[in-house]
Structure 1
Amino acid sequence: MTHRFPIKEIARQAGLGTATVDRVLNNRGNVSLQTQLRVSAAIEELQAQEAQLAARGRRLFFDFVVEAPTRFSHEVKAAAEAVLPQIGTAVCRPRFLLQEIMDEGEVVEALKRVTRRGSHGVCLKLRDTARIRDAVAMMTAAKIPVITLVTDIGDTDRLAYVGLDNAGAGRTAAYLIARTLGDMKGTILATRSHERFLGEEEREKAFVKALADQNPNLQIIAVQGGSGVDFETSRLLEQSIDDVHELSAVYSMGGGNHSILRTLDHYGLSAKIFVAHDLDRDNRELLLQRRIDYVLHHDLKMDMRNLFNRFLAWHGLTNGAENTPISTVQVMTPENIPTTGGPSQRAPFRGQET
């Protein structure tokens, strides 16, 4: 039984005699299973107490580097700040670099600055490119733990991924659309914010495969780019749907849904079902207005708790689990999201008279 505590200390914690503890630790006879369990529990308790003592007064600085629309970055920052008061193990100080669009060079320079300055942990929501992978390798070589959020970065020694089960989300979107449309033929618009976000790529692959299995009559128009920002999203969308005369469904994997809807309205297109991602302020508004039908959501606060706990475990300040749980997708509708108003404030169904 591995431990680093004096026998007297273990005996005091377990409420046993030193001779009994000595027999357990050295695998001698005449020891009951219950006594062995009491000694094991005492060692675990001492390890936890040691971690708390080590952390007392300790300040840790964590860096968040996020490329995402402001509406989503705001949700990430708010979730991180909301869970910090619940972490009593150490004083955690987050530092945020949040931008809607960052070119590869900007990202690499930002990660170099973090490495030079030093950090107790870095959370990244970035594109998966060769230069960014190299920058992540530079950080991990400098003994800085890296966790990816929502979208992963492949072929790196990052500590963990936290966020949504992206493939599961893609399959869920396919299920909702296939159940709504049945066996009918039609055109599906599937949008991504950027081709290099691995999480959205995982969503799309799973979506395409599941939809083909459930309804092979549906044709998919894939649009990539725009970074979820209004103007760029509209411009790219206009280039792709100019010849589309009827639209059955929309699966928006990367945001920019106000822009998508405005562009569809301009072309006189109205989808029978619209599936989006993330319950940010924009999507909450569109969902309650019934402009979109479903939002595939996950608990960012839980992601942040998992993230900080994993960082603290890496520093030996908690007895955290080795595996970080992946968030399962939650299907949000106008009827099951928290609202401050009553039914009278909800928008009518599509086609319902007001």
Structure 2
Amino acid sequence: MSRKPTMDDVAALAGVSIATVDRVLNRRGGVKPDREARVLAAARGLKIDRQLGRSYAHRLRVAVLIQTAANPFHAALGSAVAAANREFLSLNIQFLVHHLDPNRPDRIPGLIDRLARAHDGLIVASPSSPEIAASLRLAAATIPVATLATDVPGSGRHAYVGADDVQGGRVAGDLIGRFLGSAGGDVLMIAGLLSMAGHRDRENGFRAVLREHFPACRVVAVEESRETAEGAGDVAAAALRTHPDLRAIYLTSAGADRVVEALSAAGAPSMVFVTHELTEDRRVLLRSRKIDAIINQDTAIEVRSVTHIMAQLLGRADGAVETVLAPVRIFTAENC
């Protein structure tokens, strides 16, 4: 187009009236979010010289469905969401945290349905089940949906942001195998909930690497903590009684402090102990060498990624929407 673009051109490209274009470009409000997004996309495409996409009259609300702060990892997610709200002020997108109980999966589909009706987008870190996947598919038919930290297979979500949990499990197995050496020994895995796809993937990766490279290491049990610290401590204490030759514990969820307490009470402080997520309480345990290694996925990076993707899905940020696999880092007492 050799001439300077006009509002007529924007209106034709966006499929709206000139009056709608005028209201959007001059920030008068009163335009539905989908039309506003089309107008701004058309204006950017025509390279109209305005500060487009920097100020939006209509506020969009995105529900973020995670566990309560009783789970330190989810507490970190919640803090990162608060930081994202400050970052996305210019796009007028508000991220609102809501809580689910992973031990009441029967309540989660109804919660998803209610949030989807009341919000413009949905970010979910949830256990998976056919009912939960169905509720997310229904939501994704009308609003953008992204899964965070653990995926929900068959959910129809538009994007997933999180670590490669098969790889995370393999890293844990590799660490434990190397710590135990050629003698190997009995290993306990404590998962949060195996209904979470991420925890199942970690188990699969963990078992695979031991089978392939450390056959002297034997997984004697995989127990669920039900995503609670108390549950992790109880499982560890029971396993230490049942398996007196236990040499290593792999924990995938909350409760590292309770596991350490169980090891101390059983007189087994030298047990190899590997877990995930470098939260502040775990940093203290790592520095005191009560945890041997932590495999960390950066919650701040994950939340920044998923909120940016949501802004793209809502038409308030440019770029192609892609699934993001967050990198992981290994921490020991020497680099935490």
TM-score, normalised with respect to structure 2: 0.81
After superposition, where does 1:184-263 map in structure 2 within 5 Å? 184-263=183-262
**CA distance in 1: counterparts of 2:327 and 2:140, whole angstroms:** 28
Aligned-residue offset at 1:100 = 5.3
The structure-2 alpha-carbon separation of the partners of 1:218 and 1:102, relative to structure 1 and needing over 3 Å to count, comes to: closer
After superposition, where does 1:51-200 map in structure 2 within 5 Å? 52=53, 56-67=56-67, 69-87=70-88, 89-99=90-100, 101-117=102-118, 119-141=119-141, 143-200=142-199
Q: Answer with 90-99 or 237-246: which moved more.
A: 237-246
**CA distance in 2: counterparts of 1:329 and 1:48, whole angstroms:** 41
After superposition, where does 1:32-43 map in structure 2 within 5 Å? none
The structure-2 alpha-carbon separation of the partners of 1:288 and 1:102, relative to structure 1 and needing over 3 Å to count, comes to: same
**Structure 1: tracts of 5 or more residues without a match:** 1-5, 11-41, 338-354
The structure-2 alpha-carbon separation of the partners of 1:47 and 1:319, relative to structure 1 and needing over 3 Å to count, comes to: farther
Q: Is the 8 A contact 1:67 1:98 kept in 2?
A: yes
Which of these two proteins has the greater Rg computed from alpha carbons? 1
Aligned-residue offset at 1:316 = 1.7
Aligned-residue offset at 1:43 = 7.5
Aligned-residue offset at 1:287 = 1.2
Q: Is the 8 A contact 2:190 2:225 kept in 1?
A: no
Matched with 1:346 is none
CA RMSD of aligned residues (A): 2.5
After superposition, where does 1:323-338 map in structure 2 within 5 Å? 323-337=322-336
Secondary structure of the structure 2 residue equivalent to 1:111: helix
Aligned-residue offset at 1:201 = 0.8
Aligned-residue offset at 1:295 = 1.1
Task: Give the residue type in structure 2 aligned to 1:76.
Answer: L
The structure-2 alpha-carbon separation of the partners of 1:48 and 1:309, relative to structure 1 and needing over 3 Å to count, comes to: farther
> Residue by residue, what CA displacement relative to the aligned partner does 1:293-315 show, whole Å, maximum 9, x if unpaired?
21111121111111111111112
Matched with 1:9 is 4
Q: Is the 8 A contact 1:195 1:224 kept in 2?
A: no
Aligned-residue offset at 1:198 = 0.5
**Structure 2: tracts of 5 or more residues without a match:** 6-42
The structure-2 alpha-carbon separation of the partners of 1:170 and 1:210, relative to structure 1 and needing over 3 Å to count, comes to: same
> Residue by residue, what CA displacement relative to the aligned partner does 1:175-213 show, whole Å, maximum 9, x if unpaired?
212222221131111110112010011111011101111
The structure-2 alpha-carbon separation of the partners of 1:165 and 1:136, relative to structure 1 and needing over 3 Å to count, comes to: same
**CA distance in 2: counterparts of 1:43 and 1:320, whole angstroms:** 12
Q: Is the 8 A contact 2:61 2:94 kept in 1?
A: yes
TM-score, normalised with respect to structure 1: 0.77
